[in-house]
Amino acid sequence: MAEILPPGRTAPDFRLHVTPDQTLSLSELKGRRAILAFYPADWSPVCGDQVTLYNQLLPEFRERGAELLGLSVDGAWCHQAFAQHRNLHFPLLSDFEPKGAVARSYGAYREGEGVCERALFVLDEKGVIAWSYCSPIAVNPGADGILDALDRMTGTEKSHGDAQGARHSA
Amino acid sequence: MAMLRAPVTARDHILGSEDAPVVLVEYGDYQCPYCALAQPVVRQLLDQAGPDLALVFRHFPLSEVHPMADTAAQAAEFAGAHGVFWPMHEALFANQSRLSPSMIFALVGALGLSQASLQRALALGTYAQKVREDFVGGARSGVNGTPCFFVNGVRHDGAYTFGALAAAISTARRQAMTANQAARQGDATSRL
């Protein structure tokens, strides 16, 4: 398993296709919390269950100030068909060209197979990683870790953010 | 190891005694084919274990892919409020391949309940909150798909076949008996 970026690190910025003719960059989410869910492949059974679960939990994520982004190496057209099929209401980003470059920058790329790890990152309002987790590839990690991480940030949000920011500028 | 974080309380539907040494909590979706397949397995487990096993069913409707799941869950809660949760629960699974609003209303009618009351409850979302609480409690306990079982509070990560679940239940029963015995001995010692 790859070494994914740990808490305390600034999340590398990126700009990726979110539809065939639109792109989204991480910096556009600054000021909001973000959940990055890297997964191996659209249409695979485990990924399907995982994105379906997260799709149902969007109200809980948004209640905690977080936007969810899904990322895999699938192309934008593939993402579009998958999102329609599963009725997804959050963006799927295409880490397609150069393939897996964003996943690599997070330590979440599987070289042998050429797909993303099943890795989760929760980012604070400043784009600093507050929690990260890499699941065994065949195991759906569920959402409990994400919700727990977001709850730990609630309330201690300011001091936590400042401490992380300070450590970073040091 | 994922643990059940939402304890079994009076708000739950429980089949069997809440004091049973083993409580099986199932998170399910009335439109999930795997949940329907698990129903005879659960029935068989209850028959085999007798009073040693109780079943709790909680809703985990994946309504974005199963458009009837949430309505079905609310209808089951409506039936529960009228004392017939389990017959409705079984009827919903038995008719899974044909679930539609009219089918759900027909099932409620067949149980002798008022279809107009169901219509009102659905329109007002009377049971929507409870269904959502089940869902979120499950997600926080690590439910990542359906069906998902917890045996005495521990998520069952094995297959949901009769053999795998029966083995988990019998281990949990042994542990519960041992803990019970230890507690009784502790009581006896403290009385000395």
> A143: which chain B residues are within 8 Å (Cβ-Cβ)?
139-140, 144
B13-185 is classed in which CATH architecture? 3-Layer(aba) Sandwich (3.40)
- Which CATH number covers residue A63? 3.40.30.10
The number of angstroms, rounded, from the C-alpha of A56 to the middle of its chain's C-alpha atoms is: 16
Question: pLDDT (tens digit, 9 = 90+) per residue, B134-172?
Answer: 999 999 999 999 999 999 999 999 999 999 999 999 999
Cis peptide before A7 (omega within 30 of 0): no
What total of structural domains would you count in chain A? 1
Which of A144, A147, A148 best probes binding to B when mutated, by most B CB atoms within 10 angstroms?
A: A144
| Contacts (Cβ under 8 Å, ≥6 apart) of B122 | B71, B74, B75, B78
| Cβ–Cβ < 8 Å for A17, A94 | yes
**Residue A10, domain member (yes or no):** no
pLDDT on residue B126: 98
> B135: which chain A residues are within 8 Å (Cβ-Cβ)?
56
pLDDT on residue A1: 55
Question: pLDDT (tens digit, 9 = 90+) per residue, B1-43?
Answer: 799 999 999 999 999 999 999 999 999 999 999 999 999 999 9
**Residue A117, domain member (yes or no):** yes
> B64: which chain A residues are within 8 Å (Cβ-Cβ)?
52, 55-56, 86-89
The whole-angstrom distance between B143's CA and the closest CA on chain A is 6
Q: ipTM value, please give it.
A: 0.90
**Residue A3, domain member (yes or no):** no
The Cα angle at residue A68 between residues A66 and A69, in degrees rounded to 5? 140
3-state helix, strand, coil in chain A (%, to 5): 35, 25, 35
**Of chain A residues 1-20, which have a CB less than 8 A from chain B?**
none
In the DSSP assignment, the letter for residue B149 is E
Range of the domain at A93: 15-164
**CA B170 to CA A13: how far, in whole Å?**
51
pLDDT on residue A157: 46
- By CB atoms closer than 10 A (0-12, 13-18, 19+), residue B178 is exposed
CB contact under 8 A, B64 and A53: no
Q: Helix count (H) and strand count (E) of chain A?
A: 6, 9
**Does the pLDDT at position B191 exceed 80?**
no
CB contact under 8 A, B65 and A86: yes
Over its length of 170 residues, how does chain A's per-residue pLDDT go in tens digits? 569 999 999 999 999 999 999 999 999 998 999 999 999 999 998 888 999 999 999 999 999 999 999 999 999 999 999 999 999 999 999 999 999 999 999 999 999 999 999 999 999 999 999 999 999 999 999 999 999 999 999 754 444 444 333 333 33
pLDDT on residue A166: 37
Question: pLDDT (tens digit, 9 = 90+) per residue, B81-119?
Answer: 999 999 999 999 999 999 999 999 999 999 999 999 999
pLDDT on residue A101: 98
**Residue A109, domain member (yes or no):** yes
**Does the pLDDT at position B75 exceed 60?**
yes
The whole-angstrom distance between B114's CA and the closest CA on chain A is 31
Of A102, A66, A139, whose CA–CA distance to B144 is shortest?
A139
